[in-house]
Chain A
Amino acid sequence: MTAAAATTGASTPHSDGDRLLDVRNMQTRFHVMDGVVPAVDGVSFTLDRGRTLGIVGESGSGKSVTALTIMRLLDIPPAEIGAGSEAWFDGRDLLALSESEMRKVRGKDIAMIFQEPLTSLNPVFTVGAQIAEQVQTHLHVRAREAWSRVVEMLRLVGIPSPERRAKQYPHELSGGMRQRVMIAMALSCEPKLLIADEPTTALDVTVQAQILELLKTIQQRTGSALIMITHDLGVIAETVDDVIVMYAGQVVEQGSVADVLLEPRMPYTMGLIESIPTVEKRGGRLSAISGVVPSPFHLPPACRFEPRCPYAWDTCRDRMPDLSVTRDAERHARCHLHVAGAASRLEAAVSQHRQNMRVGRQLTDSV
């Protein structure tokens, strides 16, 4: 299978004992009224202990569904997890665990933070009670000890006078504070893996900076691994070591942050980076990716990016490209530009990308 190649092909500097999460050929479909949505289609990746991984992609590309499948939080039906899917976590396949075993993993070994801090907290319970509930479930401690843990966690995430705040309801806290509560809750049982699904999208830029800083610091301090899901390349660049780029349910590029963001090797990633407005592009048009994301019911038969790709040629319409190792090694891209015969096309694409990154007028030019 295509994705398996990616996993086995990836030579990591760590031994297998360091491997925390190994997702193989994960497929998640939704059966809805109009048909079947292949929300996640053969996604594979690995994550080592203490490392950070970013998942980036546009709305609907399957980022959240990937995380929710790992957490087994999707309702089945309408969701359906493909037969060959595996998610090895610490030596166990999460997708094969019984529900009661999985319950012991959730919140204890893997914790998750969601996008909307207001709706993700239950409005009718105090924030302290909501954290304490989790502590008591997993650590089997008495109410008083759980409460002192709550206060300790709230203090850790920078909430002033935590004793008082713990007794407040979510609506009495600001957006940034609610997200801190979510983080405190997620970290309360010292998970090995923290999944943050767009943790700062709903927040203001100054508060976002606080939360990102907090996540980074705490992640370093506790040594847990982190999966950061976002559509903001800036957030990715700030927080993670490695990144996977998703498009229409598939991983299209994979590698270290510096590699992927500075030298993208897949036309979609290139387009994504080019369309970020920056100083250099002032005074000119942005180079935008034309068209829209394909409907999940009418995916292009071969390369899913083909209708929007400026470099597409016949091969792209015939065969779906594999997620294969690029020539720079250490990185993977799902694109025919990397097959042996397309070297000149790749050259052209890369130089075009370099040029697009410089369009517009430099600030000083106008003076």
Chain B
Amino acid sequence: MMKFVTRRVLQAIPVLLGVTVVVYAILLAAPGGPEAKFAQNPRITQAQKDSFRKAWGLDQPIPIQYGRWMGILNPSGEGLGVLIGPAGLPNFLPTPLSGATNGVLHGDFGYSIDSGEPVSNRIIRAALPTFILAGTALVLWIVVAIVLGVYAAIHRYSLFDQGATVFAYVGYAMPTFWLGIMLIFAFSGPGLNILPAGGMTETRISPPFGSPEYWVYFGSNTPQALGDIAKHLVLPVITLVVVNIAGDSRFVRASMLESLGQDYVRTARAKGLPARTVNFKHALRNALLPVVTNIGLEIPFLFTGAIVTETIFSWPGIGKLTIDATRDFDYPILMGVLLVTSVMVVLANLLADILYGVIDPRIKY
């Protein structure tokens, strides 16, 4: 098992490296740059723009920029000396050896061009709301999809099954942004104003989420603060999971039906076991095997889906951070977010594989 995990992590490293190289190249090769925000400002001279680019190292060729960001190259070196760190050893070695402190390899994700804050601070600040949103969505998604799918499979062709089918088709066909806007319209519009349209907290009563004042407030009014967040969660979570539930409940149903048709289910019935045992012990456990893999593969889409959802509901999470950073050409933030989400994708897949091994004894790692 440890071996398997080690192997998977080792395999992931080149993949992650490759992803950063490609994305970095594409990002920086795209026309425009952070200086675009000065474009309409006649008082900024070309010289000022150039010195702005130079200050952020944007005047360097892409490989050099990438090398610096990664921590392979020393930003203050000359010629081939860029490869050598301050301590005289290659720059990419760990800090105690090379003396280098720049770049991802040395734990430095750089600074936001927009706000000058360290990238890691901004990502950490945005991560918590996203985790709250995506985590709730994930739990809801898995539970509802499995319950719906299993029930529909056991009572195949019943009214419930047909209703679930209709829901699945409708849910699957609805674009996320459209669904979000419709939900806002329905539940926080002029007519039925019962749920907040956006944000994570009620700005009138609590300080902005994540700020130190908020935590003071949270400590003194915990139940109230939690209720507030829950109320704000409802619409974004629904927006986020409807598509997934629609798709996966079908998938669970199909998988369960297949499992119910297997010889071992017939054996279980021939043994005289009660229907409950046959369905939920023998059939369900086997039916979940493909579902686990599928969910593992879909988790990344939960995060990409969160980009749209967070924008619609102005949820202060990673998705919103990404959109803002894209608008401002804030390369360090974008690269930081990308690296973090890539790592999470790898971890989610690894988790799914491990889980698979736990429920299927035939898989040995």
Report A's interface with B, CB cutoff 8 A: 71, 73, 103-108, 111-112, 114, 116, 119-125, 133-134, 137-138, 169, 171, 182, 185
Partner of A108, one of B264, B272, B282: B272
Q: Quick one: given A103-B274, A106-B272, are A120 and B263 in contact (CB under 8 Å)?
A: yes
**Complex contacts, B273 vs chain A, CB 8 Å:** 103, 107, 133-134, 137
Digit string of B262-297 for contact with A (CB within 8 Å is 1, else 0)? Answer: 111011111111100100001001100000000000
Q: Please state if B272 and A137 are interface contacts (CB–CB under 8 Å).
A: yes
Minimal beta-carbon separation of A30 from chain B (angstroms): 14
Q: Which of B166-174, B197-205, B355-363 sits within the interface?
A: B355-363
249-266 of chain B: CB within 8 A of chain A = 262-264, 266
Q: Which residues of A contact B264 (CB under 8 A)?
A: 119-123
Known: A116-B263, A120-B267, A123-B264. A107 touches B286 (CB 8 A): no
How distant is the Cα of A134 from the Cα of B277 in the complex, in angstroms? 11
Q: Is the CB of B272 within 8 A of A123?
A: no
Min CB distance B239 to A, Å, is 36
A-B contact pairs, 15 of them (CB 8 A): A73-B269, A103-B274, A104-B272, A106-B271, A106-B272, A107-B273, A111-B271, A112-B270, A114-B263, A114-B266, A122-B268, A122-B282, A123-B360, A133-B277, A185-B271
Nearest chain B CB to A198 CB, angstrom units: 12
Check B359 against A137 for contact (C-beta < 8 Å).
no
Closest 10 CB pairs of A and B: A107-B272, A106-B272, A107-B271, A119-B263, A122-B264, A134-B271, A120-B263, A169-B361, A112-B270, A120-B267
Name B's A-contacting residues (CB within 8 A).
262-264, 266-274, 277, 282, 285-286, 359-362
A68 to B180, CA, bound (A): 52
Q: Do residues B272 and A122 form an inter-chain contact, with CB atoms below 8 A?
A: no
Which residue, B270, B359, B360, has most C-beta atoms of chain A within 10 A? B270
Docked-complex contact B267 and A106, CB < 8 angstroms: no
Q: Which residues on B sit within 8 Å (CB–CB) of A138?
A: 272
Find the A residue at minimum CB distance from B266. A73
Name, among B262, B269, B359, the residue most crowded by chain A CB atoms within 10 Å (CB to CB). Answer: B269
Q: Find the B residue at minimum CB distance from A116.
A: B263
Q: Once the chains are docked, how many angstroms separate the CA of A116 from the CA of B263?
A: 8
CA distance A122 to B264 in the complex (A): 5
Q: Give the distance in Å from the alpha carbon of A168 to the alpha carbon of B360 in the complex.
A: 13
A-B contact count (CB 8 A): 68
Interface centre among B263, B264, B272, B360 (most CB of A within 10 A): B272
Given the contacts A122-B264, A124-B360, A169-B362, A133 and B271 also touching, CB distance less than 8 Å: yes
From A71, which residue of chain B is reached at the shortest CB distance? B270
Shortest Cβ distance from residue A66 to the other chain B in the assembled complex, whole angstroms: 15
Nearest-neighbor residue (CB-CB) of A102 within chain B: B272
Which residues of A have CB within 8 Å of B263?
114, 116, 119-120
**Which residues of A sit under 8 angstroms from B359, Cβ to Cβ?**
124
Tell me the minimal C-beta distance from B77 to chain A in angstroms: 58
Are B361 and A123 interface neighbours, CB within 8 A? Answer: yes
A175 to chain B, nearest CB (A): 14
Q: How far is the CA of A137 from the CA of B274 in the complex (A)?
A: 9
Please give me the residue from chain A that is nearest to B270 by CB atom: A112
B270 lies within 8 A of A107 (CB): yes
Known: A120-B263, A169-B362. 20 other contacts (CB 8 A): A73-B266, A106-B270, A107-B271, A108-B272, A114-B267, A114-B270, A119-B262, A119-B264, A120-B266, A121-B264, A121-B267, A122-B264, A123-B361, A124-B360, A133-B271, A133-B273, A134-B271, A134-B273, A137-B271, A169-B361
Smallest Cβ distance from B289 to chain A, in angstroms?
Answer: 8
Cross-chain contact B286 with A124 (CB below 8 angstroms): yes
Q: Which residues of A contact B262 (CB under 8 A)?
A: 119
* Min distance, Cβ B358 to any Cβ of chain A, angstroms: 10
Contacts of B277 in A (CB 8 A): 133
Complex Cα spacing A108 to B264, Å: 18
Complex: A106 Cα to B266 Cα, angstroms: 11
When distances are taken between beta carbons in the complex, the residues of chain A under 8 Å from B269 are 73, 106
Closest chain A residue to B267, Cβ basis: A120
